[in-house]
Structure 1
Amino acid sequence: MKIACVGGGPAGLYFAISAKLRDVGHRITVLERDPPGAGYGWGVVYWDDLLDVLYRNDPESAREVSARSVLWQDQQIQVRSRRGGGTAFFGGYGYSVSRAALLDVLTRRASELGVELDYGRRILDPCELAEADLVVAADGAGSRIRTVGREHFGTHVAAGRNSYLWLGTDQPLTHFAFCFEQTPAGWIWFHAYPSTKTVSTCIVECPPETWHGLGLDRLDDEEGVRLLEGIFRRALDGHRLISRSRGRPARWQTFPHVTNQCWYHGRTVLVGDAAHTTHFTLGSGTRLAMIDAVVLAHSLTEYVELDEALHEYDRHRRAELHPVQAAARSSMAWFEHPDRYLARDPVSFAYAMSVRRGNQTPWRYQLHLATQAAAVRSVRRAYDSGRRWYRARRRGETL
């Protein structure tokens, strides 16, 4: 089969890898509008469940992704209001990898398997790829391929209320950090986590009232970043915020919540953010995109007829994504009005954040209170270490 994959991000590259592994006879071309090495963005987070999938699908690239990732443990929530402030904690752990490193691993692996990589190629319509038996739209939330067939896919895009800015910082974190700061214009906060051992990702978010009130809509890139450094100076502990990722400055955005009633039409199929988006407060976008890639490649192997394969992929993944997107909408809505909870003490506020998707159990509040004790966090980290070891051994990962 001749396959054109539009978009050289994690979804497109990992689909090409997965399809080639299952049928070396596929002629696959990944068409990317940017030049080689232009992996804009900072870090992405994931958990053990994604590593389980990657090791089952392609141990070769999984080992590389794991080797270039960093572990973060615990989550720290700082709240600083005009009346004072404090810190609360969540337990748990996860992994993060810089987007550039992830793309480097996947690009090299795809090339090794015989995937053709065509850079600097901007595709605006599937008709430009008339020779392809299958067109995989992996061109992101603003997908041009999807836009052309919008009425067939039943696309709906709803913009979030808050503004956010995806930055880096030279503060080397070992945990996931939240910091909420009250300014004269209103509340503003960041979500931060390590990208590498020396650089961290820092996503700044605020409601439109704060954004306008602070003048962030009028300041240029450098002035805006310096203002944010001043606001978060205590949390950053003297470290810098970094706007430019491989030469491109960060831009304020509102989050596009993308849904589609159908993920394929004719010979065109959607994967990753072109098919669905999940708010960054859920931290699952890259994970879900790569699982889309695996499921689509598997469907193409399992079903002889292309239409049947795409139908099964669509049915299976949309059913799985429905509760995830519902949880993401709830998380996004909570962060659009955190001021409803910020009058509480930091520990109570942190608990409200932890159950924002409705996943509350009778014992969860007691565990949350216990987690505020350093000794309990230490015991939990030891338990998590054993759990990581067991899961790594089970999937065949060399420790």
Structure 2
Amino acid sequence: MKVACVGGGPGSLYFSILMKQVDPSHDITVYERNPAGSTYGWGVTFWDELIDALHAADTDSATAIIESSVRWDKWITHVQDRMTATMEGGDEGFGVGRRRLLDILTERARSLGVRVEFEHEIAGEEELTGADLVVAGDGVNSGLRERHADHFGSKVVFGRNPYIWLGTTKVFDAFVFSFVETTHGWIWCYGYGFSEEHSTCVIECSPATWKGLGFDRANEGDSLRLLEKLFAHVLDGHPLIGRDHADGSAHWLNFPTLTNQRWYRGNLVLLGDAAHTTHYSIGAGTVLALGDAAALVEALRGGTGLESALACYERQRKAPIRSSQKAALRSAEWFEHLPRYINLPPRHVVALLGRRHSVLMPHVPPRLYYRLDQAVDQLAGVSRLAYRVYAKVTRRKDAEASH
């Protein structure tokens, strides 16, 4: 099969790697419009459940990714000067530099015989007439998808809160949330490490706070200086690092949640952010793109014909993506309605922050939800204890019976 992947992000590169493993005779080219080493963003996150899947799919790239990642198993939450809470245990989190991740996947793809062409923009699939399959992995603003937006049934809904994606030389050893109250309302950051030198720092606030603090008028330099003052308690004197723009503007955005009714048209198929996006507050975008890649390869290897394979891929991926998008929207809405929660006792705020994906929470008074949640946890603890006692008694009886 001759395959053209448009867009050199993690999804396209991982798809090319897995396809080559299935059949080295596949002729695969990845086209990326930007120069090598040029990428947006700082670090990406993933969680420990992904590790086994990466190793099962491709041990070489998995090993390199894990060796290049930093880990954390605690979460620290600052609520102004009222409280600092630390939660340890639970799922292990990982951060890896986006540029490093792309370098690993590019090197691995090339080692398997994939051609990766940088600074080669594809405007339309007619430029790829010899390809049996065209994979559109060219991001949320996919040009290939937009040419057929009516067919795909594309829909974008923008989040209310503006955010800015920054880096910092402060290396966090935990995943950090920090909420700061200003005279114009609350502003908060999410911080996590992704290398031994840098961390990601995403900062968000309501539109009223953003405008009240003057970010609608400030250039990037002034914006960064104000943000460094607001979050001095977590940055420990380290600077925030933005993205260079010719006009000096700060890169504030409103997050676009993209959905598509259909994921393929003829031999053109959508993958990753070209097919769907999930709000950054759940840290799932890269993981879902890798999952798309694996699912598409699995569908294609079934030998049922291209159209049947693409239909199978669409059908199998839509359910998990829909579930993730719903969880992400509930997470985004929790932050959009922060005043509903932030003035509760600090321990309540932290508990509700951890449950922000809940379907029920928006419809129940926060104090009542907290009490119900604590009661459920206590009952679950009693159930676990009862099971351990039951299992211990059963094992003792079995041992006595065997004698």
**With structure 2 as the length reference, what TM-score do the two structures score?**
0.87
CA distance 1:31–1:96, change in 2 (3 Å): same
1:162 alignment partner in structure 2 = 161
> Could you tell me how far 1:329 is from its partner in structure 2?
1.0
More deviation in 305-314 or 31-40?
31-40
Larger radius of gyration: 2
> Contact 1:178–1:191 (CA<8 Å) still a contact in 2?
yes
1:277 alignment partner in structure 2 = 277
Q: Give CA deviations for 1:185-213 in whole Å, capped at 9, x if unaligned.
A: 11110000001122110000111111111
CA distance 1:368–1:205, change in 2 (3 Å): farther
**In structure 2, C-alpha distance between the alignment counterparts of 1:241 and 1:53, rounded to whole Å:** 34
> Contact 1:39–1:246 (CA<8 Å) still a contact in 2?
no
> Could you tell me how far 1:40 is from its partner in structure 2?
2.6
Q: Give CA deviations for 1:16-45 in whole Å, capped at 9, x if unaligned.
A: 111111111111110001001113321111
Is structure 2 residue 98 aligned with structure 1 residue 89? no
**In structure 2, C-alpha distance between the alignment counterparts of 1:340 and 1:14, rounded to whole Å:** 41
For structure 1, which runs of at least 5 residues remain unmatched after alignment?
Answer: 370-399
- Counterpart code for 2:95: S
Q: Give CA deviations for 1:212-249 in whole Å, capped at 9, x if unaligned.
A: 11111111111111110011112212111111389998
**In structure 2, C-alpha distance between the alignment counterparts of 1:303 and 1:214, rounded to whole Å:** 58
> Could you tell me how far 1:66 is from its partner in structure 2?
0.6
1:263 alignment partner in structure 2 = 263
> Could you tell me how far 1:275 is from its partner in structure 2?
0.7
> Contact 1:168–1:242 (CA<8 Å) still a contact in 2?
yes
**In structure 1, C-alpha distance between the alignment counterparts of 2:341 and 2:155, rounded to whole Å:** 30
Between 1 and 2, higher relative CO (CA 8 Å, sep ≥ 6) is seen in: 1
CA distance 1:183–1:321, change in 2 (3 Å): same
**In structure 2, C-alpha distance between the alignment counterparts of 1:29 and 1:70, rounded to whole Å:** 31
> Contact 1:30–1:117 (CA<8 Å) still a contact in 2?
yes
1:177 alignment partner in structure 2 = 176
**In structure 2, C-alpha distance between the alignment counterparts of 1:324 and 1:252, rounded to whole Å:** 24
Q: Secondary structure at the match of 2:282?
A: coil
**In structure 2, C-alpha distance between the alignment counterparts of 1:66 and 1:299, rounded to whole Å:** 27
- Counterpart code for 2:239: R
1:17 alignment partner in structure 2 = 17
> Could you tell me how far 1:363 is from its partner in structure 2?
9.1
**In structure 2, C-alpha distance between the alignment counterparts of 1:68 and 1:177, rounded to whole Å:** 21
Is structure 2 residue 225 aligned with structure 1 residue 226? yes
Q: Secondary structure at the match of 1:281?
A: helix
CA distance 1:336–1:362, change in 2 (3 Å): closer
CA distance 1:243–1:296, change in 2 (3 Å): same
**In structure 1, C-alpha distance between the alignment counterparts of 2:320 and 2:295, rounded to whole Å:** 11
1:322 alignment partner in structure 2 = 322
- Counterpart code for 1:365: Q
**In structure 1, C-alpha distance between the alignment counterparts of 2:306 and 2:127, rounded to whole Å:** 20
1:127 alignment partner in structure 2 = 126
> Contact 2:331–2:356 (CA<8 Å) still a contact in 1?
yes
**In structure 2, C-alpha distance between the alignment counterparts of 1:250 and 1:283, rounded to whole Å:** 23
- Over 6 Å off, 4+ runs: 245-250, 359-363, 366-369
Q: Give CA deviations for 1:263-313 in whole Å, capped at 9, x if unaligned.
A: 111111011011111111111110010010011011111134100110100
> Contact 1:190–1:203 (CA<8 Å) still a contact in 2?
yes
1:374 alignment partner in structure 2 = none
> Could you tell me how far 1:255 is from its partner in structure 2?
0.3
> Could you tell me how far 1:15 is from its partner in structure 2?
0.7
> Contact 2:219–2:249 (CA<8 Å) still a contact in 1?
no
> Could you tell me how far 1:251 is from its partner in structure 2?
1.3
> Contact 1:41–1:245 (CA<8 Å) still a contact in 2?
no
CA distance 1:288–1:220, change in 2 (3 Å): same
- Counterpart code for 2:164: L
CA distance 1:106–1:172, change in 2 (3 Å): same
Between the two proteins, the alignment pairs up a number of residues equal to 366
- Counterpart code for 2:176: A
- Counterpart code for 1:90: M
**In structure 1, C-alpha distance between the alignment counterparts of 2:64 and 2:377, rounded to whole Å:** 35
**In structure 1, C-alpha distance between the alignment counterparts of 2:98 and 2:348, rounded to whole Å:** 34
- Counterpart code for 1:40: Y
**In structure 2, C-alpha distance between the alignment counterparts of 1:111 and 1:249, rounded to whole Å:** 37
Is structure 2 residue 232 aligned with structure 1 residue 242? no
> Contact 1:89–1:350 (CA<8 Å) still a contact in 2?
no
